[in-house]
Amino acid sequence: MASSRDGATLVFRSNGDYNGDNPNLQEQIWVATRDGSAYDVSRVTALVNADLGDPAVSSEGQWLTFASTGDLAAPGNTDGNFEIFRYNRSTGSFLQVTDTAACTNDRPRINDDGSRIVFQSDCDLGFSAAGNEIVLWDGSFRGVDTTGCVSRDPWISRDASGRYVSFITQCDGQYPGISNPDLETEIVQWDTATDTYLQVTNTPAGFFNDAVTSSADHEAGQNPAGSGVVFRYDRLAGSFLQLTDADPLAVYPSASIDDAGNLVAVERIDLLSSAFDVLIVDAAAPRLLNPVAAGGPSVVNHFPVVAVSAGQPLVAFQSNGDFSGNNVDANTEIWIGGASLDPPTPSVYCSSPNLVIPDRGTVVDTITVLSSGILADLDVFVRIQHSYTGDLRVHLRHLDTGTARRLIDRPGGPPGFGCSGDDIDATLDDEAASSVEEECVTPGPIAILGTFRPHRRLRNFDGEDVFGDWELVVSDLSLQETGAFLEWCLIPSTQ
């Protein structure tokens, strides 16, 4: 799926029968055009027994490009090879860009006036007989012979010039000026006007750069080795901006940047809950992730693309969720939603310290609450990675009042030994049915998972003003096992 810069045009492939003109449920390319608050869907292709790749669209929405085994235009594709096609929505006409045999052309992207298409190919297009190449078509084919290594997933700047092409490569020395002796996956930018190459990333062995997406002057990508982090690279400044916090329990499999390079939509997978969430982050407020669509045990949100309409962000994505009450069969549909980039007044205050808990050591993290309100009730969420949860003791302190409570005290019994299971992912609530001290699931992926009463009741904080500094203290009281204090939240109800 792809979007024009303002979200008024969405293009996608589907085997749906939206207007009664695809009764055989053959996969086709479709265009959704905004009409007020709704979208009109129309079919672009009329394929029979043919395959398709994902389409791309120009910034203004006039030009489409896609790969297909279909026979759509001269000179013809009677051998059913994967060829690159361009479609002009103004004239309703197709152009077959490539004419190859026994090979594959795929993943095309197009500039704004439709004059340039970049794609990946293992075909002989005049400069390489084999290999996985990045190819630029601007009436003729351009590229570098990189036989013996892999380059993939190209993007082209969506302005009229289409000057810059960004892609992922494991090549070393094939591109002028690019050195990659460890053959790791790196991001490279090709200036097609000067035919020069810029190595955007140069990471050591064991790291992986992926999911590159490009505007005219910026690239956004993510690095899922270790902690998944999304970055934006500013070509003009030659600098990186980290858009998300490091989190060893999350990965970002896809990201999309708007044409101005200011907004990035991301798909985030929580490795503990397996939730697939879609979020958006503004480069002006990095690390503040604004929710668009929340995943869940049976709801999967995928492949977000971001646009801006009348100054407001729009994010299109695929999901089997039922956000409107009209998707009760949980089919994968295309959704589009907005997100406020103004930080809301939070009802939950969270921190992700990601602190290593040393053997027989203590770590402390502070949340500062700037809003006032008299506490009627307080819950606390705690996420700790530890290979022997029975070693742990957790205290909460309100520094402005001096009130402190021990929330977890070597849970799981018997006394003095505690739970031998791994990890805590728990909400502590005075009204819960069971005590955290009695919980211990072994074997299991998470020993303490759910909502439980704390060791000492949180009601001692009732009547205090939530304003001020709150401190959570996590201690390891025994030898041999260590862990990490990942995340915690204050969940107040105020009068």
- Tell me, yes or no, whether 128 lies in a domain: yes
Same domain, 91 and 238: yes
Residue 290 CA to residue 92 CA, distance in Å, equals: 38
What was the pLDDT predicted at 211?
A: 55
pLDDT, tens digit (0-9, with 9 covering 90-100), for 221-246:
654 444 568 888 888 888 888 888 87
Residue 189 CA to residue 179 CA, distance in Å, equals: 13
Question: Which of 338, 357, 383 is the last residue in one of the domains?
Answer: 338
> What separation, in Å, do the N-terminal and C-terminal C-alpha atoms of the chain show?
46
pTM across the whole model: 0.68
Same domain, 332 and 356: no
- Candidates 486, 488, 489; CA nearest to 227 is 486
pLDDT, tens digit (0-9, with 9 covering 90-100), for 77-118:
999 999 999 999 999 999 999 999 999 999 999 999 999 999
Question: Number of folded domains in the chain?
Answer: 2
Same domain, 314 and 384: no
Domain ranges, residue 433: 349-494
Q: Between vectors from CA 425 to CA 275 and to CA 464, what angle results, nearest 5°?
A: 115
- Signed CA dihedral, 163, 164, 170, 176: sign only: positive
- Tell me, yes or no, whether 344 lies in a domain: no
Same domain, 93 and 219: yes
* Single-letter residue type at 212: V
- Measured CA distances, 420 to 48, 50, 213, 410 (Å): 59, 56, 44, 10
Q: What 3-state DSSP class applies to 262?
A: coil
Element (DSSP H or E) covering residue 38 = strand 38-43
Same domain, 278 and 400: no
CA atoms within 13 A on the CB side of 323: 20
pLDDT, tens digit (0-9, with 9 covering 90-100), for 36-83:
878 999 999 999 999 999 999 999 999 999 999 999 998 999 999 999
Residue 105 CA to residue 134 CA, distance in Å, equals: 10
Same domain, 334 and 355: no
Same domain, 489 and 392: yes
Q: Are strands 9-14 and 164-169 parallel, antiparallel or unpaired?
A: unpaired
Question: Which of 287, 307, 338 is the last residue in one of the domains?
Answer: 338
CA atoms within 13 A on the CB side of 108: 32
- Tell me, yes or no, whether 50 lies in a domain: yes
Enter the DSSP assignment of 436.
G
pLDDT, tens digit (0-9, with 9 covering 90-100), for 437-467:
888 888 878 888 889 999 999 999 999 999 8
What was the pLDDT predicted at 288?
A: 86
Assign residue 12 the CATH number of its domain.
2.120.10.30
What was the pLDDT predicted at 342?
A: 43
Same domain, 181 and 313: yes
Assign residue 397 the CATH number of its domain.
2.60.120.260
Cα 113 to chain centroid distance, Å, stands at: 29
C-beta atoms surrounding 152 within 10 Å = 17
- Candidates 402, 373, 376; CA nearest to 458 is 376
Residue 232 CA to residue 278 CA, distance in Å, equals: 18
Same domain, 139 and 284: yes
Same domain, 164 and 29: yes
- Tell me, yes or no, whether 74 lies in a domain: yes
Same domain, 166 and 313: yes
Question: Which of 304, 338, 372 is the last residue in one of the domains?
Answer: 338
What was the pLDDT predicted at 339?
A: 55
Residue 128 CA to residue 107 CA, distance in Å, equals: 18
What was the pLDDT predicted at 341?
A: 46
List the pLDDT tens digit at each of the 495 positions of the chain: 999 999 999 999 999 999 999 999 999 999 999 988 789 999 999 999 999 999 999 999 999 999 999 999 989 999 999 999 999 999 999 999 999 999 999 999 999 999 999 999 999 998 876 678 999 999 999 999 888 899 999 999 989 999 999 999 999 999 999 999 988 889 999 999 999 999 988 876 655 555 555 555 555 565 444 456 888 888 888 888 888 887 778 888 889 999 988 999 999 998 888 889 999 999 888 888 888 988 888 899 999 999 988 888 999 999 999 888 888 888 999 988 865 444 444 468 889 899 999 988 999 999 998 877 889 899 999 999 998 888 899 999 999 999 999 999 989 865 556 888 889 999 999 999 899 988 888 887 888 888 999 999 999 999 999 989 999 999 998 888 889 999 999 999 886
- Tell me, yes or no, whether 343 lies in a domain: no
Q: Between vectors from CA 195 to CA 263 and to CA 259, what angle results, nearest 5°?
A: 15
Same domain, 64 and 148: yes
- Tell me, yes or no, whether 149 lies in a domain: yes
What was the pLDDT predicted at 58?
A: 96
Lookup: tokens for 249 = 């329990």
